[in-house]
Structure 1
Amino acid sequence: MTGERILVVEDERVVAKDIEKRLKNLGYVVIANVTSGAEAIKSVAEMQLDLVLMDIRLKGEMDGIEAAEYIRTNFNIPVIYLTAFADEDTLQRAKVTEPFGYILKPFDERDLHAVIEVALRRRLAEAAVRVALEKEKELSELKSRFWSMVVHGFRTPMTAILSCAQLLESHNHELPEERRREYLYLIQKSVKTMNQLLDDVLAVSKAEGGGLKFEPEPLDLEYFCRSVVEEVQFITFQNHQIIFSYQGDCSHAYFDKILLWHILSNLLSNAIKYSPQGGEIFLNLSCQNREAIFEVKDTGIGIPHKAQEHLFQAFHRAENVGKIPGTGLGLTMVKKCLDLHDGQIFVESEVGVGTTFTVKLPLNNLTISH
């Protein structure tokens, strides 16, 4: 390894110059040469470093061991001690700071080179372990959130189904027709909620496992959008109306219709779900500059600004959704489908006013290589 940036901390100027020369001969970059622990800490704070060579005996209020301890605790930069003293007390104090090496003066370039390379490789190995542990922690937290979401997601509709079924069984002849219809409607709604949860989990699982294929084909975008609108409108409540508009020349469009269906159906379903008061949902399609632009607009509860930063993370839901059911997986799926199309998505939202998602996709996806 060459070109690593090293700080030398040595209060004997002649010795420091000799060390600097040896390091340069070995291909390392000496960023600075300082003489005290305070200067060493200041340099580490201000510079990008890979390693510190630290003399234990330094002039001033802070010796090399104290400076190394501060650097290890606050900056996580590896330190190698350089010293002519090897008494037991000094060694014990030095061990506590967990140094990456220990070189006794005088030393030759081979010893110096070997100790530095071992220290640098150890740093890389420890960094890799830290990344792996962080990934494992993230995965563990993700699994925990997943199971919590699944349990909560199923428990609520199952409780509703059980309650309605028990009431219908026990009081069926006593209930007015309107109330029986209400209980049956709640059962159907709960089943749809559980089915949507399963669909979302399976779809994202397939995407995570690389199971989503990108297979673009010629597509009549206007007809396709109208079909998606009709399908979503059919399974939604009567107090929402989806209004579709179209402009521009969208002929010669090539898209993966399965992935595009996931994108549009998820955005439209979310617009409906988070507009509990009902009203109009807009899907606008325009084609210009070799792009298809899809705009899904609602006048629902809106998305808090802080939550917008995490919209496409799995299982993340904004704090203002209340009791509105959902998995936090729909937009994750949208993003994965968009990435396969080399597309972009933008959001504008204001709490209590509504949300607009804008999706931009290249019209001719045959040119994309995956």
Structure 2
Amino acid sequence: MRQNFISLVSHEMRTPLVAAMQYLELMGGNIVGALNTEQTRIVNRMKSRLSDLLALIDRWLELARIEDHQVTDDFETFDFSPVVKEALEIIKPLADEKKIKIRDMSGDDVKLNGDRNMIKEIIVNLVSNGIKYNREGGEVTVQKKQESGFIVIDISDTGFGIPEEELGRIGKEFYRVKREGLAVGFGLGLAIVKKILDIHNGRLEIKSAVDQGSTFRMYLPISTAVIGKTAAASCNCSRESNKKGG
């Protein structure tokens, strides 16, 4: 039933919206005749609203897909640093547009076990939020450390911050922080992040203060295979040391 409904939304709603966007592109490009200033303004406004609606549908479908993806068939052991670089490359045009500086301080590589594309989606979502809810010329910083079998990733921004009373509602579907003059997103980005972290036995913590920015900290288990190798290597080193000492 659920899968049928998702297919219905994908085809019966998204397909005609894409067609409508294509017609607007033709009109905006003067393919069907020259537009005056007012007509051009109206067409551009329609394109903007249609893009918002398509983005909402895409986000909703992505969330539904992730909720149905409770198996770990796509899990693999992979290097984390290249995933960060790929995610930041995707989001770079948005950062450039707002003159936001992205600082990658994730440091040395570490291996994770999980769905590589989903982990990249997390980075894209969190860094994207740090850009959208930031001041022009601000910064977003990505940092990483290891802690008790987890890789801890901090994504911090110099943005508007989140009121304390709203922190508990962040990450709920269709909820977004209310700020006058700022209407970006549909509140699905963090819901997607939380769903992905649940699948990976991870978690998300948020620290924020109004006009002082926010830090989104996520915990992801380090690959058990890597932990095992590290422990084995440490054990072997100890044995060799004991032999030499004896």
| Fold shared by both chains (TM-score > 0.5) | yes
Contact 1:282/1:297 (8 A) holds in 2: yes
Higher Rg: 1
Please name the residue that 1:171 is paired with. 36
CA distance in 2, matches of 1:327, 1:169: 35
Give the unaligned 5+ runs of structure 1: 1-149, 175-179
Q: Verify the 8 A CA contact 2:113 2:224 in the aligned structure 1.
A: yes
User: Retained in 2: the 8 A contact 1:216–1:365?
Assistant: no
Aligned partners of 1:321, 1:213: CA distance in 2, in Å?
41
Higher relative contact order, structure no. (Cα contacts within 8 Å, ≥ 6 residues apart)? 2
Greater CA deviation, 355-364 or 319-328?
319-328
Distance 1:188 1:228 in 2: 26
C-alpha contact 1:255 1:363 (8 A) present in aligned 2: no
Report SS of the residue matched to 1:234. helix
Q: Name the residue aligned to 1:358.
A: 217
| Residue pair 1:272, 1:278 contacting (<8 A) in 2 also | no
Determine the C-alpha separation between the residues in 1 that align with 2:118 and 2:180: 26
CA distance in 2, matches of 1:187, 1:280: 32
Determine the C-alpha separation between the residues in 1 that align with 2:141 and 2:223: 25
296, 299, 310: which one pairs with 2:169? 310
How far has the Cα of 1:353 moved from its partner? Answer: 1.4
Structure 2 residue runs of 5 or longer lacking an equivalent are 1-12, 227-246
1:327 aligned residue: 186
- Once the two structures are superposed, residues 32-52 of structure 1 have per-residue CA deviations (whole angstroms, 9 ceiling, x without a partner) of xxxxxxxxxxxxxxxxxxxxx
Is contact 1:271-1:298 (8 Å) kept? yes
Letter in 1 for 2:151: A
Instruction: Confirm or deny: 8 A CA contact 1:341 1:365 kept in the other structure.
Output: no
User: Does structure 1 retain, via aligned residues, the 8 Å contact 2:102–2:140?
Assistant: yes
Three-state SS of the structure 2 residue aligned to 1:196 is helix
Distance 2:51 2:99 in 1: 18
Aligned equivalents of 1:325, 1:311: Cα separation in 2: 14
The one-letter amino acid paired with 1:211 is H
Do 2:77 and 2:114's aligned partners in 1 also have CA atoms closer than 8 Å?
Answer: yes
Change (3 A) 1:286 1:314: same
1:276 and 1:300 in contact (8 A); partners too: yes
Cα offset, 1:249, TM superposition: 5.3
**Residue 155 (structure 2) aligns with:** 296
Contact 2:153 2:219 in 1 (8 A): yes
**Aligned Cα root-mean-square deviation (Å):** 3.5
Matched, 1:286 2:151: no
Amino acid at match of 1:219: F
CA 196–305 in structure 1, closer or farther in 2 if over 3 Å, else same: same
- Aligned to 1:219, the other structure's residue is in SS state strand
Matches within 5 A, 1:139-288: 165=28, 169-171=34-36, 193-208=52-67, 210-211=68-69, 213-214=71-72, 215-236=74-95, 237-248=97-108, 250=110, 252-288=111-147
Give 1:193 shift.
Answer: 3.6
Q: Deviations over 1:337-362 (max 9, x none)?
A: 00111112111101111111001111
Aligned to 1:137: none
TM-score, normalised on structure 2?
A: 0.68
TM-aligned CA distance change 1:260 to 1:184, over 3 Å: farther
- Contact 1:345 1:358 survives alignment (8 Å): yes
CA distance in 1, matches of 2:166, 2:43: 35
The code of the aligned residue for 2:218 comes to V
- The alignment-based identity, stated in percent, is 25
Separation of aligned partners in 2, 1:183 and 1:295: 41
TM-score scaled by structure 1? 0.47
Pair 322,295 (structure 1): closer, same or farther in 2 beyond 3 Å? same
Which AA in structure 2 matches 1:266?
A: N
1:226 and 1:194, CA in 2 relative to 1: closer, same or farther beyond 3 A? same
